[in-house]
A and B are shown apart, each in its own frame.
Chain A
Amino acid sequence: MARGAAAARRGAAQRRLNRAGAGPRCPPGPRAGPPPAARPPPGPARASISTATVETVERPTKGAYTLAGVGRAYQQKGRTVHALSKVDLEIRSGDMVAVQGPTGGGKSTLLQLLGALDRPSTGTIALGGELLSQLGDARLGAIRGREIGFVFQHFNLIPTLTALENVETALVPLGVSAEERRSRASEALESVGLGERGGHLPSELSGGQQQRVAIARAIVKRPAVLLADEPTGNLDEETRDEIMNLLEGLWRDQGLTLVIVTHDSAVARRAQRRLHIKQGSVREVA
């Protein structure tokens, strides 16, 4: 059902994109949404992704994704692997989406495409009105630096930098002054409950604490989107719940669009929307 609706919507989305002209910019409507605090709090989990077709134009688009006919194919040992095929998807600003599916099903590929780390082989991806699929590396890097926060399963902290400095790295691309960088990084660490641990190296922190530092690094630039790849995959249950509470709190307080890839159904159940990817196809889970 979701696929049928998505197919119907794909035509509309493509028409919107075509109307936007030759440039990569997407459709009319407000470019950026209101400040996170002023955004309407996320509503109850939507049962379907098919409702966003026309309304999206009227709603804040910051942090909103539109995927139309997206496919991603790789060459692997002389044969073509279709990691994703013909994916139509709308993720509205402020959505909290969990992505589940078997290993090799295409979750990672989807997250890479949403994170502007890769480009689709076919179709288009728009974030906040900008067609990511048509942008160059430098522009994609700038969008990642400004709009998208990442949280990784293995935390991916720079081992030689302290917690505070790790958080600061996210502000470097924004050209923030050293003083402001430090101040904002401290605030971010405070907000994840690690205000006192800023001078510690990652190796001196527990797994949960390292993930909190990674979350602080992801949110310190006040992104529109937070993409989390198995954020609790390396944590025990208690710490998992702490991290999920933290992410959920941030999502609620800051109006983030939160996409979480997880194998953990307990985590997925906390999301508004749940997507299941299998063999490159996406379906909404009711």
Chain B
Amino acid sequence: MFTTYLRRELVHRRKHSLIIAIGMALAIALVVVVNAVSAGVSAAQSTALASVYGVGTDITVTQAAEPGEGGGGPGGFSFGADEGTTAEDGTTTLEQTQLSTARGITSFDAADLDTVLAVDGVEDATATLSLESTSFSGEIPDFGQTPTEGSTGGMPAPPSGGADGAGGSSFGVDSFSVEGIDLGGAALGPLSSVELADGRTFESTDGGADVAVLDASYAESAELAVGDVIEVGGAELEIIGTVASTSADAATASDVYLPLDTAQTLADLDGQVTTVYVQATGSDAVDAVQADLEGALPEATVSTQSDLASSVSGSLGTASDLVASLGTWLSIIVLLAAFLIAILFTISGVTRRTREFGTLKAIGWSNRRIVGQVAGESVVQSLLGGAIGIAVGLVAVLVINLAAPSLSTTSTGGDAAAGGAPGGTAEGMAGGMGGGPGFGQQATTVAADVTLNAPVTVGILAIAVGLAVIGGVLAGAIGGWRAARLRPAEALRSVA
């Protein structure tokens, strides 16, 4: 009788059932879309972060440079009076290259890696040395020339020489990021999220060798290829391979990769590292490991993936913020509205059916049976809405995935700076000697375009069905409670 009665009510009160179902469907569809997009944005963030921090990294350990410490970034370029080569016209050509830690961070003792590995909850860890190679080259005219013949009025003639032959100066600054990789370390860090584009990657026998692996995009922009030579820190290194990010369109974390000991030697930072990549034993251990690491290494900056996620900006960051704020709140509001509609309509239905329930009570139906009937109808209406909502949501997600919107992202290393963008050449920065702060400002960011793919998981569907059931049970319970409260004598006024 329960099923028959329920079916007949739903069929005969179609309009009433449809309004509840449509309200619920709208809310459930929104929940499905928001959850799927949220998962897609999270995946895009992970992709963006993986291109910087590698796959499997839960925590990074770095050490920020103290103000005034002078750590991080290239120092000033200084030239002695006799440096450079002077041409016949008096123009002096100067060249100088510096290899130093990336801007904003400083190196620390590689032995800290052992400290990290000794912390409970640490599954694995590896250390890298993030460097920045900055080259200065320029031509300076001979400002000390005596007036040439033909000059008049005792005024000195304008200087000659320089790039334009009229006495002007020309400077060029070229910088690229360099990452020293521990060849015997764990499969974490920047090279864990790359694929070989050409040549080969490092082997264990490359330790201490003058070899380098280049980011494929950087190699292309710098017109370098496998077999060529690249100058890093005054040494010429053989390019043995190029790598590309596994994420389409994204660059890898650094422009040039070297064996860790080679990098340490060239940068004159023996036994020093700048970043430790840590993998926790599980996602639930991340917070505890972070706290323990902060205790074990008080001067270090310990960042988790969620900390790092905040460094993602660009339209991906906007999408993330949008989903997190607007999407979530919109879902909650629509869901509450749908629940409210279901509750109000159920109560209104109970009120309209007062005599009906009074009659059923008069013929002996228990409160429990009547509440069950009302709740059953409400749950079925909500489930119906949930099913429609899931279908609509799936279609919406399909449309999103077919449209495949591209989200641009700029992942800024911040205090966990590791890696750099494809090395930009600061050409044309004329005037002024010395590469002070300002050079390589983009060295700690990675730009990428990530295609948004909104996945629909069983979990999302379970949430949708669960919410529909909750909505139905809630409306049914309140409606049923109203029905149960009806006094049969009052409900049956026609008896009187």
Interfacial residues, chain A to chain B (CB-CB below 8 A): 107-109, 111-112, 115, 117-118, 137-138, 141-142, 144-146, 149-150, 152-154, 156, 158-161, 165, 168-170, 172-174, 178, 181, 217-218, 229
Tell me whether chain B's interface is mostly helix, strand or loop, or mixed: helix
Shortest Cβ-Cβ A-B pairs, 7 listed: A145-B364, A108-B496, A173-B364, A160-B12, A160-B8, A118-B489, A156-B359
B contact residues, total (Cβ < 8 Å)? 28
Stretch at the interface among B54-62, B148-156, B263-271, B365-373: B365-373
CB distance from B18 to the nearest CB of A (A): 16
Task: Contact check, B359 vs A158: say whether CB atoms are below 8 A apart.
Answer: yes
* Contact with B495, one of A111, A138, A149, A181 (Cβ below 8 angstroms): A111
A117-B492, A160-B8 known; A217-B363 Cβ under 8 A: yes
A145–B359 Cα distance when bound, in Å, is 11
Q: Does B488 contact A (CB under 8 A)?
A: yes
* Contact with A173, one of B11, B365, B487, B492 (Cβ below 8 angstroms): B365
Task: Contact check, B1 vs A152: say whether CB atoms are below 8 A apart.
Answer: no
Interfacial residues, chain B to chain A (CB-CB below 8 A): 1, 4-5, 8-9, 11-13, 355-356, 358-367, 369, 487-489, 492, 494-496
Task: Contact check, A152 vs B361: say whether CB atoms are below 8 A apart.
Answer: no
Task: Contact check, A178 vs B363: say whether CB atoms are below 8 A apart.
Answer: no
* Contact with A145, one of B12, B365, B487, B496 (Cβ below 8 angstroms): B365
Task: Contact check, A156 vs B494: say whether CB atoms are below 8 A apart.
Answer: yes
Most chain B CB neighbours (cut-off 10 Å) among A111, A142, A168, A173: A173
* Contact with A229, one of B8, B13, B487, B495 (Cβ below 8 angstroms): B495
Task: Contact check, B12 vs A152: say whether CB atoms are below 8 A apart.
Answer: no
Task: Contact check, A173 vs B356: say whether CB atoms are below 8 A apart.
Answer: no
Most chain B CB neighbours (cut-off 10 Å) among A108, A109, A115, A172: A172
CB distance from B355 to the nearest CB of A (A): 6
Across the interface, which residues of A come within 8 angstroms of B358, CB to CB?
A: 156
A148–B396 Cα distance when bound, in Å, is 57
* Contact with A161, one of B4, B369, B489 (Cβ below 8 angstroms): B4
A167–B358 Cα distance when bound, in Å, is 16
CB distance from A116 to the nearest CB of B (A): 9
Task: Contact check, B362 vs A115: say whether CB atoms are below 8 A apart.
Answer: yes
A178–B3 Cα distance when bound, in Å, is 12
Task: Contact check, B363 vs A150: say whether CB atoms are below 8 A apart.
Answer: yes
Task: Contact check, A111 vs B496: say whether CB atoms are below 8 A apart.
Answer: yes
A160-B13, A229-B494 known; A165-B359 Cβ under 8 A: no
Q: What are 12 A-B pairs at a CB distance below 8 A? A: A107-B496, A108-B496, A117-B361, A138-B367, A149-B363, A150-B495, A156-B359, A159-B356, A160-B12, A169-B5, A173-B363, A217-B363
* Contact with A152, one of B9, B11, B487, B492 (Cβ below 8 angstroms): B492
A261–B341 Cα distance when bound, in Å, is 42
Task: Contact check, B369 vs A112: say whether CB atoms are below 8 A apart.
Answer: no
Across the interface, which residues of A come within 8 angstroms of B489, CB to CB?
A: 112, 117-118
Task: Contact check, A168 vs B488: say whether CB atoms are below 8 A apart.
Answer: no
Across the interface, which residues of B come within 8 angstroms of A159, CB to CB?
A: 12, 356
A145-B363, A161-B8 known; A178-B496 Cβ under 8 A: no
Across the interface, which residues of A come within 8 angstroms of B5, CB to CB?
A: 158, 160-161, 165, 169
CB distance from B319 to the nearest CB of A (A): 48
Across the interface, which residues of B come within 8 angstroms of A154, CB to CB?
A: 355, 494
Across the interface, which residues of B come within 8 angstroms of A109, CB to CB?
A: 496
A117-B488, A159-B12, A160-B13 known; A173-B366 Cβ under 8 A: yes
Task: Contact check, B359 vs A144: say whether CB atoms are below 8 A apart.
Answer: no
Across the interface, which residues of A come within 8 angstroms of B359, CB to CB?
A: 150, 152, 156, 158
A222–B367 Cα distance when bound, in Å, is 23
A117-B489, A172-B369 known; A112-B361 Cβ under 8 A: no
A169-B360, A170-B364, A217-B363 known; A153-B4 Cβ under 8 A: no
Across the interface, which residues of B come within 8 angstroms of A165, CB to CB?
A: 1, 4-5, 8
A112-B496, A115-B495 known; A138-B366 Cβ under 8 A: yes
Most chain A CB neighbours (cut-off 10 Å) among B355, B367, B488, B495: B495
A217–B369 Cα distance when bound, in Å, is 18
A152–B1 Cα distance when bound, in Å, is 22
Across the interface, which residues of B come within 8 angstroms of A170, CB to CB?
A: 363-364
CB nearest neighbor in A for B5: A161
CB distance from B481 to the nearest CB of A (A): 15
